[in-house]
Structure 1
Amino acid sequence: MGHKSSKQKKDLTHLSEEEIERLTKNTTYSKQQIRDWHEGFLRDCPTGKLDSKKFLEVYKKFYPEGKAEKFCSQVFKTFGKYMFM
């Protein structure tokens, strides 16, 4: 009753060194590029959470000829419960 989990929620606005290392090993981006991308993401999503409305807005900017609504719907059906809020 009333038991709180001892696990703390992850701060979605912070990238740990471990996360940066994993990203540099699995992408072609440098540590600085990853930090810069993350800072840009936080300017658009200050809480560190990306909702479908913002995803759609950004996707349309990068892929104006794409089928943004359909793609967004598929992304959130597939990954939404794991990655996005």
Structure 2
Amino acid sequence: MSKRWRSVSGNDVYAVLGFAEMYLKRHMKDPESFTVVERHGVQQNDDGYRVILTYRARNGFGGMRVESAIVHLDEEKRGRKIITLD
């Protein structure tokens, strides 16, 4: 089993990005304010996928913030965890 991350290409990129964005949006305090600013790439290893996204969303105090996160998905593209980078 390879733990080494490798780039994903083709139609898989769009599917993985869509699932990652939905998973991240579901975990927002105000999901309706969630907007993707930048997609930094999709990588895969034998455990699943990781996507790095920069997004804008409303925080608990009502202010808009721009943050980045790594979203991990399993092999079936189900969300496993979110690691915020900011």
TM-score interval (norm. to shorter): under 0.3
Bigger helix fraction: 1
* Higher normalized strand content (fraction of residues): 2
